[in-house]
Amino acid sequence: MKATSSRQALLAATLFAAGMASAPAADALQGLPAGPLGESIQRGHDMIMNTNTDVRVKGFVGNALTCNSCHTDGGNNDHPGNFLATATKFPSYSKREDTVITLEDRVANCFMRSMNGMRPSTDSGVVVDMAAYISWLDRGKPILGGATPVPAKSPYAAMLKSAGEADVQAGAKVYDAHCASCHGAGGAGIAGSFPPIWGPDSYNAGAGLANVAKLATWVKGNMPLGNPSLSEREAFEVALFVDSHPRPDFMLSQHLRPGSAADDYNARVRSETDTAQGNLRKAGLDLKLLP
């Protein structure tokens, strides 16, 4: 595919220029079972890598991202957002939906938020294939169920408490030095090569990464791509800068297919609206959105 090869060429050139080589991830698809299950896992993998261009799935996507934009290496690495214990955690209680959800629910919900699109049915081929791929990555691991370990304490809650205008400005400097070369000075990325990180084609205000502390954790372990090397302070500042920009509002009802809400959407919370400005306020920050 042309878009992929130009992206790879650009990425290789960038990493080469910076004197870095990216370690190839182990092949996620080695040893697939023959027959329908193997084919499902393969389709799930391909749709996770090419979500916004693959004809089987792109109709559910409302921005320029793929699942792989955030679940880097298709979730097959040890960075934040990996899928290497994901299937072992479900069913589990989700505060956001205020109910117990399945892996299939979790996959479908990402379409509404991170992908700013429509929620596919949990028994659709798209969701089943993606769940088959994620479960394949976790094969042989013990089921955690309710025993999911509590995540390590994040340093970002404390940084948020005292954050202000000066941190946004510091974040702008980090962005110029470490991010703008790929994502562009205006955050719009380069179509087909580097994804937009704010503005109309990015994740919406209801996504996990629209939360500054979650974005900081994710950036610390994933970016700059191929060489995640920021300090915690820098990751926090740049996350604050990125999430201080406009992005699509999230209104839950607009992401449920007409007629699907009552029987298919497994949630007790039926109404939610998030905006980029509102997220800053909710985090206790008295900051105005940047243009």
Binding mask 155-184 for ligand HEC (x = CB under 6 A): -----------------------xx-xxx-
Task: Please check whether residue 143 is in contact with residue 88, taking contact to mean a CB–CB distance below 8 angstroms.
Answer: yes
Sequence-ordered list of residues with C-beta below 8 angstroms from that of 123, at least 6 positions apart, any chain: 104
Task: Please check whether residue 273 is in contact with residue 252, taking contact to mean a CB–CB distance below 8 angstroms.
Answer: yes
Nearest approach, Cβ of residue 181 and ligand HEC (Å): 5
Residue 202 interacting with ligand HEC (CB under 6 A): yes
Residue 106 interacting with ligand HEC (CB under 6 A): yes
Distance separating alpha carbons of residues 206 and 195, to the nearest angstrom: 18
Retrieve residue 50's tokens.
């090419």
Q: How many CB atoms lie within 10 A of CB 133?
A: 29
Distance separating alpha carbons of residues 277 and 256, to the nearest angstrom: 24
Nearest approach, Cβ of residue 141 and ligand HEC (Å): 12
Nearest approach, Cβ of residue 270 and ligand HEC (Å): 19
Within 215-234, the residues that bind ligand HEC by CB under 6 A are 218-219, 223-225, 230
| Selected range binding ligand HEC among 21-29, 30-38, 152-160, 190-198, rule: CB under 6 A | 190-198
Binding mask 56-85 for ligand HEC (x = CB under 6 A): ---------x-xxxxxx--------x----
Distance separating alpha carbons of residues 208 and 218, to the nearest angstrom: 10
Nearest approach, Cβ of residue 271 and ligand HEC (Å): 19
Nearest approach, Cβ of residue 28 and ligand HEC (Å): 14
Task: Please check whether residue 117 is in contact with residue 61, taking contact to mean a CB–CB distance below 8 angstroms.
Answer: yes
Residue 276 interacting with ligand HEC (CB under 6 A): no
Task: Please check whether residue 85 is in contact with residue 145, taking contact to mean a CB–CB distance below 8 angstroms.
Answer: no
How far, CA to CA in Å, does 41 sit from each of 16, 28, 35, 134? Answer: 33, 10, 10, 8
Q: Please identify, using beta-carbon distances, which residue of 215 and 285 lies nearer to ligand HEC.
A: 215
How far, CA to CA in Å, does 273 sit from each of 113, 143, 249, 253, 269? Answer: 11, 34, 7, 9, 11
Residue 135 interacting with ligand HEC (CB under 6 A): no
Residue 188 interacting with ligand HEC (CB under 6 A): no
Residues contributing to the site for ligand HEC (CB under 6 A): 11, 14, 48, 51, 65, 67-72, 81, 86, 89, 106-107, 110-111, 114-115, 130, 134, 178-179, 181-183, 194-197, 202-203, 207-209, 214, 218-219, 223-225, 230, 238, 242
